Amino acid sequence: MTFDTPISRAGSHCVKWDMLEPLYGFKADEGLAMWVADMEFKPPQVVQDSLQKMLDHGVYGYFGDDTAYLAAIRWWMQTRHGWEVQPDWIFTTHGLVNGTALCVQSYTQPGDAVVLMTPVYHAFARVIKAAGRSVTECPLTLKDGLAQVDTADWEKYLTGKERMFILCSPHNPGGRVWTGEELRQIADFCVKHDLILVSDEIHHDLVYPGQKHTVMALAAPQIADRLVMMTATTKTFNIAGAHIGNVIIADPALRKTFAGTINAMGISPNSFGMHMATAAYSPEGAAWVDALMRYLDGNRKLFDEGIAKIPGLRSTPLEATYLAWVDFSGTGMAPEEFIERVEKQAKIATNHGSAFGTGGESFLRFNLACPRAQVVEAVSRLERAFADLQ
C-alpha cells in the first residue's frame, strides 16, 4: 500500500478533476485540484475485494439483510471510539448531506432557524435554506489561529426561531477536535435554548496523532433525548461516491420521527455502499486508516512548513481532517486578489472561505489528501504566485 502513487482521475466523472475547467478555467493536466473533500487514494483492498465479489456475482438487485452491516458499525464505534451503539438506533441514508436534510425535515418546520457555528461545512446552510428554514450563524472565535467555542457570545445572535443546532465534530474547516468541555458547553447551550443537536462526526476517524476525538453522545449523555449522531465510512475510506451514511439515534421518540421521514421519502439502501461500508469497518480497514493518518500527518507538516515561509499566509494547525485552512489576511489583499493569484497564476483549485459562512472570508481551503509530490508542487506554485511578498 503506497499513498505516493499518483492516480489520474481525469475523465473518470469525478467532480474534483472533471469540473475544473468549467468552474476554475484550467485543465486537469495543467492545474491542481485541491478543493472537493475526497482523496486521491484507492480505498483499502478489503473494500476493493467487496466490490469485486459483487462484480463476479454480476446480479445487482435490491439489498437485504443488514445484520453484517450493523455488526460492522457496532464493532467500529466500539473499538475505534469507545461508543456502544445498538443496532436499532442506526438508520442508513444516502450520505450525510442527505442525513442533514432528513434531520431538517424531521425536526424543524418551514420558517424555523437552525444554528451553525461558522465558518462551517457549506452544504449545511445550502440544505437548510433550500428547505425554507433560515440559518442563525454563531461565529467561532479565534485564539492563536485556532477556532474556539464561546457559547456565551452566541446568545446575542439568537432570534427565537431556532429549533436545531448542527455541530461539525471534528470541525470542517479548520480541523479542530473539540474538547469534552467544549462539547458540554454546546450541549448546555442546546438544552438552554431547547434545540435538537445534530452532531455530524463524518471526520471522526481522520484525527492526527496526539489528538482524541470525543463522541458527542459520550461527552454529554444527559442530552440523549435531543441528540442525533451522524457518522459515515465515506470520508474515512474515500468512498464518497457510494453515497452512504449513518444517522444514529438513541432516543425512541426522535427515532420514530426520523423513521417517518425516511419512509415518507422512500429511502432504502444502496447495495454497493452497504457492501463497501461493511468491508471497510474491519481490522484491515482499521490498519489502512492508521497508515493513512501517518501519511497525511507528513503531508500537513510539509504543507505548513512551506506556507509558513510565505509572508502573509498562515496555515491553521490541523488537529483532524486533511483540509488545510489557510488565512491570507496577512497579505493585506482583498479575496479577489489572493483568489486570482491562487487560481489564475498558481492554477490551484481550492474552496473559497466565504462559502463556509461568516469568518471564512480571508481563507482558502486546500485538500492535502493527495500524493506528497502534489503537496510539494502546490507549495512551490504558491511561493511563485506570492513571490513579490518575499
Ligand X SMILES: Cc1ncc(COP(=O)(O)O)c(C=O)c1O
Which positions lie near ligand X, rule CB under 6 A? 37, 95-97, 121, 168, 172, 200, 202, 232, 234, 240, 245
Angstrom distance (rounded) from CA 111 to CA 160: 11
Angstrom distance (rounded) from CA 59 to CA 53: 11
- For residue 387, the minimal CB distance to ligand X (Å) is 32
- 43 versus 306: smaller Cβ distance to ligand X: 43
- 306 versus 319: smaller Cβ distance to ligand X: 319
CA 269 to chain CA mean position, Å:
21
- 97 versus 195: smaller Cβ distance to ligand X: 97
Alpha helices in the chain (DSSP H): 15-18, 20-24, 45-57, 67-81, 96-107, 122-130, 151-154, 180-192, 216-219, 234-237, 252-265, 271-280, 283-308, 335-340, 372-385
- For residue 112, the minimal CB distance to ligand X (Å) is 21
Q: Is 102 in contact with 258 (CB distance < 8 Å)?
A: yes
Nearest to 220 by CA among 230, 210, 208, 228: 228
- For residue 55, the minimal CB distance to ligand X (Å) is 23
- Residue whose CB is nearest to ligand X in the complex, by number: 95
- 321 versus 331: smaller Cβ distance to ligand X: 321
- For residue 196, the minimal CB distance to ligand X (Å) is 17
Question: CB neighbours (10 Å) of residue 25?
Answer: 12
- 162 versus 200: smaller Cβ distance to ligand X: 200
- For residue 172, the minimal CB distance to ligand X (Å) is 4
Nearest to 248 by CA among 83, 114, 64, 113: 83
- For residue 34, the minimal CB distance to ligand X (Å) is 13
- For residue 166, the minimal CB distance to ligand X (Å) is 9
- For residue 203, the minimal CB distance to ligand X (Å) is 6
Handedness of CA 169, 173, 179, 181 (dihedral sign): negative
Q: In 3-state terms, what secondary structure has residue 30?
A: coil
- 89 versus 121: smaller Cβ distance to ligand X: 121
- 199 versus 331: smaller Cβ distance to ligand X: 199
Nearest to 327 by CA among 106, 173, 195: 173
- 136 versus 199: smaller Cβ distance to ligand X: 199
Nearest to 324 by CA among 342, 340, 336: 342
- 81 versus 341: smaller Cβ distance to ligand X: 81
Handedness of CA 289, 119, 97, 154 (dihedral sign): positive
Task: List C-alpha distances in Å: 256 to 64, 110, 128.
Answer: 21, 20, 21
- For residue 230, the minimal CB distance to ligand X (Å) is 7
- For residue 206, the minimal CB distance to ligand X (Å) is 10
CA 6 to chain CA mean position, Å:
23
- 95 versus 306: smaller Cβ distance to ligand X: 95
Beta bridge mates, 246: 92, 231
Nearest to 201 by CA among 184, 221, 179, 177: 177
